[in-house]
Amino acid sequence: MKNRDIKKMKLLPVTIFLLGSMLFSGCSSNASASKTDETNDNVEANTEAVEQTAAENDTDAKDSDVTVDESDAKTDETTAEANEGTTEAQETDASENTDGVFENNTDTTAANAEGLSDVSLGEFVDEAGSSEKAEISEADKAEMTETLIKKVADEAKVTQQDVRHYLVDDFDGDGKIEGFMFVGEEPVDEWSGYSGTIWFVGDSECKQIHDEFEYVTYDDGSIFRTLEGGDKKFAAFSDMYTTAAVTNIFYVDGADCKESAVSRIGSAYIDEETGDLIITISAYDSMCDYEAGSDEPMWTGHTWKPYYFYYNKGAGDFAEYGAKEITREELKSICGSDIAAVLESEGYEIGQIIERDNGIININYSQTTVNADGSKSIDYKNATYDQRYHDFVNAWGDGETGIFSSDFGGTYYIN
């Protein structure tokens, strides 16, 4: 639009207003004349402002028509330069983004080599450029659950009612729903568990992953639990024995169902305070008896000792924290008191002292009793100190604290 057109547009409504005022009052009112003078002043001021703005924008042009045309031309040139700059910036950003992906992969490899990785595989940008995992709605999950139950029932040659327990989810965050399902019978009494087989089912696979056995029923009435990893979920269910439980742990990798490296070594659960996976290992290693003149040990005394695991994102699985042996002097420096001297004053012999990477210290100690008939018994104990809380743990949840209340029984090892 040319500057003179702008002036016309500014003047037109004012002119109409003035003509209307003159017709209405006959131009006989001093107040009207005053208003007219003020309006004309405003028109002149607006006109001068428009002309000044046009002059400032087009300082190199004298004629307003030529000025606007030249301004349009300059605008086109500026737009072209901006488009070229945008193209260069996009090419630069694409290069930087590509470099960033490789840098993240390099960092992840290095972090995984060190064991504990802070880089989440789920944070990498996917092909669509999104760093978020696909969200599965409850409606989709419910619909897919019915499909998976039917698939398992058909494969196991049972009715759908025989699929009594299931755990259905997107376990590896790829947007596909998989399921772990129990096929079998209900408990015969309150002391028994569900007896049957365990199946895995997905889009392209349906297979039995555990032979017929009796399984622990948890407080929510199910035999399945979910263990959270850093970028995936694990399905867990436990075999029932008379005095212990052994947890089976599975995960999904694409279309494949895989068993965890820490499956079937003890009873597993996630520590809500630390986030660690704790596996309690059952053993008969509390007492060792020797008959007179015999070197043949007879082990008794059932113990349940917790070992500590973390989710290793590099391996995509749980792994045990590293551990090393330390001296009694190092133990004294950490705890602030001579723990070994306290135990020796009670007649115990100090065994191996183990410091674990999560801050747990296990102190093995024992006491030997020689009987009158020449037989002997060795009582094996341990104390557990947690550097994260600067105190000994309470082994059995009875509220007691101190060295002797942190004894889980038996002997700890570096695995």
Between the alpha carbon of residue 260 and those of residues 50, 65, 315, the distances in Å are 77, 79, 11
209, pLDDT greater than 70: yes
238, pLDDT greater than 70: yes
The pLDDT, as a whole number, for residue 135 is 73
Least confident of 184-193, 269-278, 314-323: 184-193
What is 137-204 written as a DSSP string? Answer: -HHHHHHHHHHHHHHHHHHHTS-GGGEEEEEEE-TTSSS--EEEEEEEE--SSTT--EEEEEEEE-SS
59, pLDDT greater than 70: no
79 token code pair? 């737009």
The pLDDT, as a whole number, for residue 332 is 98
The pLDDT, as a whole number, for residue 245 is 96
Distance from C-alpha of 329 to C-alpha of 355, rounded to nearest angstrom: 13
205, pLDDT greater than 60: yes
pLDDT band at 399 (very low <50, low <70, confident <90, very high): confident
| Distance separating the N- and C-terminal Cα atoms of the chain | 84
What is the per-residue pLDDT across 91-114, written as a single tens digit (0 to 9) for each?
Answer: 444 333 333 333 333 333 333 334
DSSP state of 378: E
The pLDDT, as a whole number, for residue 62 is 40
For residues 226-245, give the mean pLDDT. 94
88, pLDDT greater than 70: no
Output 352 or 80, whichever has higher pLDDT.
352
71, pLDDT greater than 70: no
What is the per-residue pLDDT across 159-188, written as a single tens digit (0 to 9) for each?
Answer: 999 999 999 999 999 999 999 999 999 988
Least confident of 42-56, 100-114, 131-145: 100-114
Least confident of 127-136, 327-336, 404-413: 127-136
pLDDT band at 280 (very low <50, low <70, confident <90, very high): very high
Q: Are 147 and 166 in contact (CB under 8 A)?
A: no
For residues 224-239, give the mean pLDDT. 95
Residues whose CB falls within 8 Å of the CB of residue 238, separated by 6 or more in sequence, listed in order: 215, 216, 223, 245, 246, 247, 248, 267, 268
pLDDT band at 134 (very low <50, low <70, confident <90, very high): low
The pLDDT, as a whole number, for residue 132 is 54
The pLDDT, as a whole number, for residue 253 is 94
Q: Which residue has the tokens 């006109």?
A: 47
Instruction: Give the alpha-carbon dihedral of 208, 209, 215, 219, to 10 degrees.
Output: -100
For residues 255-275, give the mean pLDDT. 95
The pLDDT, as a whole number, for residue 138 is 86
Q: Are 180 and 237 in contact (CB under 8 A)?
A: yes
For residues 74-96, give the mean pLDDT. 42
Q: What is the mean pLDDT of the chain?
A: 78
329, pLDDT greater than 90: yes
What is the per-residue pLDDT across 297-322, written as a single tens digit (0 to 9) for each?
Answer: 999 999 999 999 999 999 999 999 99
Least confident of 78-92, 99-113, 254-268, 317-331: 99-113
388, pLDDT greater than 80: yes
pLDDT band at 128 (very low <50, low <70, confident <90, very high): very low
Domain ranges of the chain: 3-57, 72-119, 138-267, 271-415
pLDDT above 70 coverage of the chain, percent = 68
Q: Are 32 and 25 in contact (CB under 8 A)?
A: yes
What is the pairing mode between strands 360-370 and 376-386?
A: antiparallel
Distance from C-alpha of 365 to C-alpha of 351, rounded to nearest angstrom: 5
The pLDDT, as a whole number, for residue 174 is 92
